[in-house]
Amino acid sequence: MPRDDDASRQYVDDAEGTYREGPPRPTAYRAPFPSYRPDDPFVSDEAVVDWLMSFADFERGSGPRRSKPEFALDRIRSILRRLGDPQHGRTTIHIAGSKGKGSTAAMIEWILRAARLRTGLFTSPHLHSFDERIRINGHSDERNLAYICGVLRPFINAELTEQPGHVSTFEILTAAGLTVFALEEVDVQIVEVGLGGRLDCTNVFAETDAAVITSLSHEHTDILGDQITQIAAEKAGIIHDGCRAVVLAPQRYPAAADIIRQAAEDAGAPLIDVAQRYRAEPAGVEQWGQWFRVERLQPRPGEAQRTMFLLPLLGRHQIDNALTAIAVVDSLNAAKTLSVPTTALHQGLGKVNWPARLEVFRPGQAHVADGMPTVVIDGAHNPDSVQSALDACRDYFDFQQLHIVFGVLGDKALPDMARIIQTRSQHVYATMSDHPRARDADQVAAAFGEAEGSDWGGSVSAHPNPRAALETVVAQAHEDDLVLVLGSLSLAADTRDLILFQYSDSILNPVEDPTQ
């Protein structure tokens, strides 16, 4: 939204009954299309996917490509203008980072929904279907995706006619999500950055109520740079003078944290440094999750200084993500942007569900027969996240031997991840997911014998697909062993699909032979 010439004036926000600096936000979205029925609807969900995949899809490496120097926001801004700028007019939480941004976004959404707020959540990538990326009050619907893509199609066609070139799948999905949020009149939209921040096509908000930076580490170095300060600078691109607060999650790299602090200072945005304002410690583990204690070092009036939370997600890193989510909600309460009671914090965090993040399939549960090993699925895809997943296995599970099913995409730091895995496991099953950029299983296996000076005495085998790998590991592992699947979110999705939907009877819940 363009800023008023007198941006320093105060006004009364009638919807919230509070005073704010700068011009008021628009109160209603006026869609530029006359009805809720697309002129050219899609005939099936498959047709929607085919249409989306016909554009430049940088996640899967398909469709017409744009070179790195051509990444820009001009195209998405033009598309959104055609749609009436649906991104404006509601409370907005924008989340960037290398690790944990999806989990943090999910935690915030669950908390706000527990506070009876109407929420819109935009995340990427998806596990099983595109519609997962766009959620209203926690729900996604393929029919809604088909509808909104039908609405968008003539606008995309007009854009390409008037401005020839390429449009990406992610730009269309971003426009779709923001338009759905406007049409559904959500109270709060929580938007996860796709890649980077500065030039990510979610970076289209003139105002945000919280710009959140989760844990930063080395990733996408071919695009973001190979120095942690370069990566941090790209992530910091979501911080601007329209941010009402910047929330900085606990960071491993001090230099990265300094970049974010400077960006907040330059933008004149208040900084909530989670590591300096909150303390947390684990307080116990159950089969359904982990308990942790939180201490607010600078509690505001009405905030409890010390409290206990239950979190269904495992891993010490998830406690950091939960702290960040708490800090975001605290900042929204302090600014009187929203009113979220303490009970919503407990209820939301206690119920949050975010699949393929140390997701556990235990013997005796549905899909897993007695006598089978416990299987843990995680989307870890860079060295730091792989280390976190392995640490979590050590901290949260009792097992005799750790078996790793491992597969990566082509642009990931395979040698570094292989070296980390070698320190924890003697049994590796290399495989490749059903993803165009998945690295060949033989290449993945070879990385475990290439480390200079390595005296690893373990074994590695190559398997052409996740089903073959999972069948092999289940046949070889004992009941008191642990199987960890990691390396990419696409591998996590494929394995989860095998367990839950496709072949559960033949892999983790074998059927007795009726002839015996």
Q: What is the pLDDT along the chain (516 residues), one digit of tens a residue?
A: 222 333 333 333 333 333 334 333 445 788 888 766 676 788 888 999 999 999 987 776 644 444 444 568 999 999 999 999 999 999 999 999 999 999 999 999 999 999 999 999 999 999 999 999 999 999 998 778 888 999 999 999 999 999 999 999 999 999 999 999 999 999 999 999 998 899 999 999 999 999 999 999 876 556 666 689 999 999 999 999 999 999 999 999 999 999 999 999 999 999 999 999 999 999 999 878 999 999 999 998 888 899 999 999 999 999 999 999 999 999 999 999 999 999 999 999 999 999 999 999 988 777 788 888 999 999 999 898 999 999 999 999 999 999 999 999 986 789 999 999 999 999 999 999 999 999 999 999 999 976 544 678 899 999 999 999 999 999 999 999 999 999 999 999 999 999 987 654 546 665 444 333
Nearest to 120 by CA among 137, 104, 108: 137
- Quick check: is 74 in a domain? yes
Residues 244 and 366 in one domain: no
Q: Is residue 345 situated within a structural domain?
A: no
Beta pairing class for 10-13 and 278-286: unpaired
| Predicted local confidence at residue 507, as pLDDT | 64
Q: Does residue 220 sit within a domain?
A: yes
C-beta atoms surrounding 99 within 10 Å: 23
Taking Cα atoms as reference points, which of 79, 201, 203, 88 lies closest to residue 151? 79
Residues 53 and 199 in one domain: yes
**Which residues constitute the domain of residue 46?**
36-271
The last residue of a domain, from among 271, 295, 327: 271
What CATH number does the domain containing 397 carry?
Answer: 3.90.190.20
pLDDT of 222:
62
**Domain end call among 228, 252, 271:** 271
Beta bridge partners of 306: 295
Clarify whether residues 367 and 245 are in a common domain. Answer: no
Name 76's bridge partners.
none
**Quick one: which of 272, 198, 206, 204 has its CA closest to 232?**
198
> Are 66 and 184 members of one domain?
yes
Domain membership flag for residue 369: yes
Instruction: Tell me: do 262 and 372 sit in the same domain.
Output: no
Which string of b and e fits 305-330 if b means at least 16 CB within 10 Å? eeeebbbbbbbbbbbbbbbbbbbbbb
252 and 363 co-located in one domain: no
Beta strands in 150-195 (DSSP E): 188-192
| 55 shares a domain with 200 | yes
- Is residue 29 domain-resident? no
Identify whether residues 131 and 252 lie together within a single domain: yes
Q: Is residue 155 part of a domain?
A: yes
Percent helix, strand and coil across the chain, each to the nearest 5 = 40, 20, 45
Q: Are residues 193 and 71 in the same domain?
A: yes
The whole-angstrom separation of Cα 95 and Cα 124 is 12
In a domain, 288, yes or no: no
328 occurs within a structural domain? no
Where residue 146 sits, what CATH number does that domain have? 3.40.1190.10
Q: Within this chain, do residues 237 and 375 fall inside the same structural domain, yes or no?
A: no
* pTM > 0.85: yes or no: yes
Total domains present in the chain: 2
Distance, in Å, from the CA atom of 124 to the CA atom of 109, rounded to the nearest integer, reads 15
Domain boundary among 249, 271, 293: 271
* E strands present in 231-277: 246-248, 271-273
